[in-house]
Structure 1
């Protein structure tokens, strides 16, 4: 779109498409008790490799089930300060 002074501006659709989408809300631990490491990393703004590196360092809580490395949803929510009641009950 060209303005009256000859400069170009973004249309509403262009502005909206440039905004990064936020990840969906963290699931309820009763509904989805675990998630994969990359899924958990998305909530932290991490890419796949960075997520696995953080999990290896212990910065993301994980459990091993067979050969799978999973993140307990309740612990991730507590880490992010979303469920303070869960944190208090575990202490």
Structure 2
């Protein structure tokens, strides 16, 4: 299943704390990409990343993100949104 994971930094995430965590956060995120759990990623200035995840369930997405250093230390959260094909497009196919 595909899931968008949209990050939100908590008010406790200061620039100093961010710099302390980045040496661990970046490799952890890269590992998820190489494992295929994160298919694509984008960055929103002053807001954090957005991931398109490929996971078995919302629970797996949450557990995966909970292991990231910034989430584990309570400095960031993710909103999870399952997505799929645009089903109404099927109405454009005659006879379906």
TM-score range, shorter chain: under 0.3
Tell me: higher relative CO, structure 1 or 2? Use CA pairs within 8 A at least 6 residues apart. 2
Normalising by structure 2, we get a TM-score of: 0.26
Larger Rg: 1
What is the TM-score of this pair, normalised by structure 1?
A: 0.27
